């Protein structure tokens, strides 16, 4: 991964030169790289991901990418859906998530490879977007649970994967059954690291698991209430607690 930056006008872009420069179907480095309308004009939008905001699947030639526009939720979105308060470039949502994802990816943890982060400043506010490599054939754990396609072996892999991230110190503030993906080979991946951070071991780990359990309950999965207590997730985590 070769990181580089590009600035034009109000826009600043952090990108992986190895990914962007090899993408023969992507716009040139610039604001258009994060513009859904430009990708649609080129005919390279292949689909859209569920969830809040705009996440598009893009045909970038050798890879398929995911473009996510950062959007606010809740009451504050009524005032501004896309604008965030500017406190410096390193603190922007896109740059923080890019660097965290790159760090975990370099450690061999199963996160999507980051491609580019774009920030456009408007005085005291900014808008942002992030592009990552799409995981081929991946399906959300929630989808597999609802379809009754998640067996004991898979659930134990989910637990082991979460343990790996906790051992690395990742506090995933939105750990839920839709941010855990399973690819065609059965490997478990963790996505959407917005607002996440690396921390020393603490009570946040159990808070992560409680949030996941609440998410599982919403999937209508019959065993969701006991999934963690049965040891699929909690026991593998405790196995390394000293």
Same domain for 123 and 145?
A: no
Tell me the mean pLDDT in the region 179-207. 95
Same domain for 121 and 16?
A: yes
- Whether residue 180 has pLDDT greater than 90: yes
Residue 41 token pair = 């004009």
pLDDT of residue 27: 84
DSSP letter at 29? S
Same domain for 37 and 78?
A: yes
Rounded Cα–Cα distance for residues 48 and 54 (Å):
8
Same domain for 85 and 145?
A: no
Tell me the mean pLDDT in the region 108-121. 98
pLDDT of residue 216: 84
Residue where one domain finishes, among candidates 133, 159, 179: 133
- Whether residue 242 has pLDDT greater than 50: no
Same domain for 158 and 48?
A: no
- For the chain, give the percent of residues with pLDDT over 90: 66
Q: Which residue among 152, 174, 183, 192 is the active-site one?
A: 174
Residue whose C-alpha is closest to residue 51's, from 71, 31, 77, 26: 71
Same domain for 187 and 125?
A: no
- Whether residue 222 has pLDDT greater than 60: no
Mark 64-80 as b/e (b = at least 16 C-beta within 10 Å). Answer: bbbbbbbbbeeeeeeee
DSSP letter at 24? T
pLDDT of residue 90: 97
CATH number at residue 220: 1.10.510.10
Contacts of residue 223, Cβ cutoff 8 Å, sequence gap at least 6: 230
Rounded Cα–Cα distance for residues 212 and 54 (Å):
23
pLDDT of residue 42: 94
pLDDT of residue 198: 98
Same domain for 125 and 227?
A: no
* Contact predicate 159/175, CB 8 Å: no
Same domain for 118 and 181?
A: no
**Lowest model confidence (mean pLDDT) among 44-48, 79-83, 175-179, 209-213:** 79-83
**Lowest model confidence (mean pLDDT) among 108-122, 156-170, 225-239:** 225-239
Tell me the mean pLDDT in the region 114-130. 97
- Supply the mean pLDDT for the chain: 87
Q: In the annotation, is 174 catalytic?
A: yes
Q: How confident is the model at residue 236 (pLDDT cuts 50, 70, 90)?
A: very low
* Contact predicate 154/144, CB 8 Å: yes
Total domains in the chain come to 2
pLDDT in tens, 42-76: 999 999 986 555 699 999 988 999 999 999 865 66
Same domain for 227 and 121?
A: no
Structural domain of 61: 3-133
Rounded Cα–Cα distance for residues 195 and 76 (Å):
17
Residue 139 token pair = 């399906």
pLDDT in tens, 129-177: 999 999 999 999 999 988 889 888 898 899 999 999 999 999 999 999 9
Same domain for 99 and 151?
A: no
Q: How confident is the model at residue 24 (pLDDT cuts 50, 70, 90)?
A: confident
- Is 164 in a helix, a strand, or coil? helix
Q: How far is CA 58 from CA 40, 77, 142, 169, 201, in A?
A: 9, 26, 23, 31, 37
Task: Indicate the pTM of the whole model.
Answer: 0.89
Give CA torsion, residues 91, 202, 153, 226, to 10 deg.
-110
Residue where one domain finishes, among candidates 133, 148, 179: 133
Residue where one domain finishes, among candidates 101, 133, 165: 133
């Amino acid at each position: 991964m070769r990181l580089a930056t590009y600035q034009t006008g109000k826009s600043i872009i952090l990108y992986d030169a190895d990914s962007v420069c090899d993408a023969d179907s992507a716009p040139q480095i610039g604001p258009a790289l994060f513009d859904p309308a430009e990708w649609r004009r080129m005919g390279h939008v292949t689909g859209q991901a569920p969830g809040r905001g705009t996440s598009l699947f893009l045909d970038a030639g050798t890879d398929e990418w995911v473009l996510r526009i950062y959007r606010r939720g809740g009451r504050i979105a009524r005032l501004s859906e896309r604008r965030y308060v500017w406190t410096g470039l390193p603190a922007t949502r896109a740059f923080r998530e890019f660097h965290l994802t790159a760090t975990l990816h370099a450690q061999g943890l199963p996160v999507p490879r980051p491609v580019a982060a774009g920030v456009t400043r408007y005085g005291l506010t900014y808008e942002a977007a992030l592009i990552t490599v799409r995981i081929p054939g991946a399906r959300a754990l929630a989808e597999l649970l609802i379809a009754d396609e998640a067996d004991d072996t898979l659930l134990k892999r989910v637990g082991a994967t979460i343990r790996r991230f906790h051992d690395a110190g990742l506090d995933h503030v939105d750990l839920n059954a839709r941010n855990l993906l399973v690819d065609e080979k059965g490997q478990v991946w963790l996505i959407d690291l917005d607002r996440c951070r690396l921390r020393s071991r603490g009570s946040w780990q159990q808070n992560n698991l409680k949030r996941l359990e609440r998410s599982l309950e919403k999937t209508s999965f019959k065993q969701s209430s006991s999934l963690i207590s049965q040891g699929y997730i909690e026991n593998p985590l405790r196995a390394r607690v000293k």
